[in-house]
Structure 1
Amino acid sequence: MLPITHSRKNPTQLTFIVLMILVGLNLRPALASLAPLLPRIASEGQFSVLTLSMLTTLPVLCLGLFAPFAPWLARRLGLERSLALALIILSAGLALRGIVSLPTLYSGTLLIGAGIGVLGTLLPALVKRELADSADLMTGVYTMALCLGGALGAGLSIPLADLLGSWSLSLMSWASFALTALLAWWWIMPQPAADQQQQETTGYARALLRQPLAWQVMLLMGSQSSLAYIVFGWLPTLLVQQGYGESEAGWLMSASILIQLFSAIAAPWLARLSKDQRPAFIAVLTLVGLGLWMLLLGSPALSWPGAILLGLGQGGSFSLALTLIVLRSGNSKIAGELSALAQGGGYTLAAMGPLAVGLMIDANMSIQGITWLLLTVLAFAAAMALLAGRQYVLDLDDNGTLVTIKQD
């Protein structure tokens, strides 16, 4: 373990934002870099489609399974040390995934999901602590970093494989990116041990499970994330089946993720305009539906416009879903518990999407059938948005009981 330094002061807000962006950039390349390489890996015949389906599903499942452990880890190690540990786990997973054997592929993928699951839960908590007055807007900046990282992973995956002469080395190369973030984080941020206040428990987790609003937020997070990870996992493969070259399919996915930068940063501003976020959600989810239809069922002339619309919709829907966790929480402790529930349960559900699409591809189901599945998931997300986007908040009543309150 790197030496612990207690004398360092907290960085300035600008320095922290740079660190937040650097760490955020590492939360999507591990997921997005595999998808463009799947047709090449499958063509070698070493791994079955079912095996590749599990490789796209396992990291998302681990996001959900390990996210609830992040608060527990932070209470024992402190937020800063926990984030450093998660970066170490992510780096190790990326390195292992570059070794061409089934055990190392699965082990590395599991570690990747665990690391990202913890990072994705801890980083918003740190943002709220360090930048409390602008936490919702900084959520947009954080989401923008995620989108940029995903675009880099998708766009550079094939060129790196060609440059390095191996798809496995292309996957392994992203470990250097995670190690860079780890060194910067450890060098600049103090790494204090957890204090007594951090070790206190909030006690709202069970109470949240009795609130329909909490379930609506979780199911919204899960359904819109499922579509996102289907795109991360299978969009290039689906496009190659439609006759696109693997490089063009990778760049279409990369462009779609890159364009998410704009809607991700704009979505929190939209959320601030009203206590009712339903119109904003319906607008971005409509863009997702149009983009999917144009990419998968439209003519080749519609592919790039479809990628742009899909990116605008998915960047906005993900950023709004994260912002909704803050907007539907009466205080920071409730927000922390709701975040663990929404991301833990939501990502666990989201993992079923890439697995289902992989099984459909293995069964040679038509692209039309797969597209209708995606649109069905989208319709469910819209239904949850109409419920979760209403003017209600989870807060404590005069007796200290968690209740759902209508906002004025």
Structure 2
Amino acid sequence: MHSSTAVRTGAQGALVLTALFLVAACLRPALTSVGSVLEQIGDTTGLSASALGLLGALPLLGFAVISPLVHGPAARWGVDRLVLVAMVVLCAGIVLRSLPPLPALWIGTALIGASVAVGNVLIPAIIRRDQPSRISLLTGVNTAVMNSSAALAAGLAVPLSLLLGSWRPALGLWAGLVAVAVLVWAVRMRRLPGPDAVGTVAAVPEEPERSVWASAKAWQVTVFMGLQSTTFFTLINWLPTVEASRGVAPTTAGWHLFGFQLAGIVAGLAVTALMGRRAEQRPACLVVSVGMVVAMAGLVWAPGVGLLWILLAGASTGGAIVVALALIALRGGTHGRTVRLSGMAQSMGYLLAAGGPVAAGALGQTTGVWEPVLLLVGALALVQTGISLFAGRPEPSPDAREHSDP
């Protein structure tokens, strides 16, 4: 097994973390860069608001379909090898999405969703495998890297599209970052051979155990994961459009989305201190959930300080994803169970999240106003606050966990 107890040189440890963080940096730009240029895509392709909402939801549907299937290939080929394949597919999907034919837009987006799903599922397992004593900290740092690239993608999308003359190359440029990640990850695999080498079945051992689908704790973590994902992807796709309806310039709205992501980076790091190594995670869950309720109420009833509420919403989503991913790793127990729990939580969670952008697009198109979208996000955050009381509570004793936990 690729154990954290393996002796590594400082250079090897740096390579492991660099490769991990590069992969994390590739998992969001292809998604978050779309919202800022969604109107440009509609103008170029003739897609309606509902169709654009479906385009935004397509990667999430990919997450839902692919996530529960990841454990099998990971057990056969190894976690690290599967990550490499996913990054190659992601690079191809980004390039394909930027090509002129309309089918390429949809096929490329589907490939992006499928490949990012693999990374989403395996990153918590890799962190648990390599750094079991620092799960919360590394989850926070890894998510900060992920959110940093997401923020840059959101903020640069409009300026790049203006500079390059189209949204297509502005979105396609991110394939370069993925190509770098592929190279570094391949070097990581080559430089760390031996009995704990990547690509072995032992990387994700098969264990006879109760299915995670029968675990109440797994469902609590899954619902929390799904609700925080729904609010994030709804806002990341439609927040610039909501602001445009209020007279905010597209470039300004894009940078507001950058601030949204930047606030998430800071909050994602800060929430790890609140989580610590304690079994009790309800305070962290509640803080990140209530923040979104307050932010949406502010955007609806006190829009004059909209940027403040946008930053609060970003902090909420940034903290919530760290909490959700840490809960997956903390509740996993073993590498194999962590992959299965991650697959379940991200499959069902993102299936729920896929409805967010679609419902938002339909609401905006039907009503002609965008405040109902904010109310929808606020209502989801209220439900998330309720489930926090269950998802974040301490696990039972080891004896009880054997019979009840995933």
TM-score, normalised on structure 1?
0.90
Aligned to 2:121: 121
Q: How does 1:305-320 map to 2 (within 5 A)?
A: 305-320=308-323
Shift of 1:344: 1.6
Q: 1:248-299: per-residue Cα shift (whole Å, max 9, x none)? A: 1111011110121111112222112643222222222222222233345433
Q: Does residue 225 of structure 2 align to residue 221 of structure 1?
A: yes
Task: Report what 2:207 is aligned to.
Answer: 202
Distance across 1 between alignment mates of 2:122 and 2:112: 15
1:343 and 2:346 are equivalent in the alignment? yes
Shift in alpha-carbon separation, 1:27–1:199, aligned structure 2, 3 A = closer
Are the equivalent residues in 1 in contact too, given 2:292–2:378 (CA < 8 A)?
A: no
SS at structure 2 position matched to 1:265 = helix
The more displaced of 274-283 and 88-97 is 274-283
- 2:387 maps to what in 1? 384
Name the CA distance, whole Å, in 2 between partners of 1:233 and 1:184. Answer: 30
Aligned counterparts of 1:102 and 1:9: Cα–Cα separation in 2: 49
If asked which structure has higher relative contact order (CA below 8 Å, sep 6+), I would say 2
Q: Which string of whole-angstrom CA distances, capped at 9 and with x for unpartnered residues, describes residues 212-261 of structure 1?
A: 22111101100111001111211111111121111111110111101211
Contact 2:28 2:146 in 1 (8 A): yes
The change in CA–CA distance for 1:383 and 1:73 in structure 2 (over 3 A counts) is same
- For 2:103, the aligned partner's letter is P
Aligned partner of 1:325 among 323, 328, 334: 328
Alignment counterpart, residue 284 of structure 1, candidates 260, 269, 288: 288
Is residue 135–residue 330 contact of structure 2 (8 Å, CA) maintained in 1?
Answer: no
Query: Counterpart of 2:382 in 1: which secondary structure?
Result: helix
Q: Residue in 1 aligned with 2:60?
A: 60
Q: Determine if the alignment matches structure 1 residue 352 to structure 2 residue 355.
A: yes
Match of 1:366 among 361, 364, 369: 369
Q: Distance in 2 between matches of 1:114 and 1:227?
A: 21
One-letter code aligned to 1:294: G
1:238 to 220, 223, 242: 242
| 1:267 and 2:271 aligned | yes
Give the CA deviation at 1:74: 1.5
The answer to whether the 8 Å contact 1:61/1:347 transfers is yes
Alignment of 1:30-109 (within 5 A): 30-44=30-44, 46-109=46-109
Q: Deviations over 1:349-369 (max 9, x none)?
A: 111111111111221353332
Mapped to 1, the partners of 2:278 and 2:268 lie a distance apart of 17
Separation in structure 1 between the aligned mates of residue 46 and residue 184 of structure 2, nearest angstrom: 38
Mean Cα displacement is larger for which, 191-200 or 65-74?
191-200
Q: Any conservation in 1 of the 2:86–2:115 contact (CA below 8 Å)?
A: yes
Q: Is the 8 A contact 2:70 2:118 kept in 1?
A: yes
> How far 1:327 sits from its partner (Å)?
3.0
Structure 2 match to 1:4? none
Q: Which residue of 1 aligns with 2:5?
A: none
The question of whether the paired residues in 1 share the 8 Å contact of 2:124 and 2:326 is answered with no
Output the CA distance in 2 between the equivalents of 1:200 and 1:349. Answer: 29
Percent identity reads: 31
CA deviation after TM superposition for structure 1 residue 333, in Å: 3.6
1:139-150 counterparts in 2 under 5 A?
A: 139-150=139-150
Q: CA deviation at 1:81?
A: 1.4
Asked whether the equivalents of residues 218 and 405 of structure 2 are also in contact (C-alpha less than 8 Å), the reply is: no
Distance in 1 (CA, whole Å) between partners of 2:164 and 2:265 is 29
Q: CA deviation at 1:394?
A: 8.7
Q: Structure 2 vs 1, CA of residues 78 and 326 (structure 1 numbering), >3 Å: closer, same or farther?
A: closer
1:328 maps to amino acid? R
Moved over 6 A (4+): none
Stretches of structure 2 lacking an aligned partner (at least 5 in a row): 1-7
What corresponds to 1:5 in structure 2? Answer: none
> Using a 3 Å threshold, how does the CA distance of structure 1 residues 45 and 111 change in structure 2: closer, same or farther?
closer
For residue 11 of structure 1, report the CA deviation from its aligned partner.
5.7
Contact 2:124 2:328 in 1 (8 A): no
Specify which structure has the higher proportion of helix: 2
